[in-house]
Homo-oligomer: A and B are copies of this chain.
Amino acid sequence: MFVLITYDVATSSEGGVKRLRKVAKKCLDHGQRVQNSVFECVCDATTLAQLKIDLREIIDEEHDSLRFYILGKNYRNKIEHYGIKDSYNVEGTLMF
């Protein structure tokens, strides 16, 4: 299942910069960054449930905002990109 994760972390609040880094790192464990605070993940329901728990533990719900958008399995024709960093196959093999 394809999930889009977007977040705003209040870097001006105490510990905000550290939270921002940790949120990005946790999202990178499961997906690919497509914009500064926008990540695309393909994962199963169990992994997503755990990722939500992990991310909620990192953010400060008084200051930060975290959103999940579930696009499901047939997501490829639901996404359009214009500009730099063209889209890529989030399920494609990563070449290192």
Return the chain B residue nearest A59 by Cβ.
B83
Say yes or no for A50: interface residue by CB 8 A criterion: no
Size of interface on A: residues with Cβ below 8 Å to B: 35
Contacts of A67 in B (CB 8 A): 34-35, 38, 79-82, 87
A69:B61 contact, CB within 8 angstroms: no
Copies of this polypeptide in the complex:
2
Alpha-carbon distance A79/B38, docked complex (angstroms): 14
Contacts of A68 in B (CB 8 A): 79-81
B69:A82 contact, CB within 8 angstroms: no
A65:B80 contact, CB within 8 angstroms: no
Contacts of A66 in B (CB 8 A): 81-83
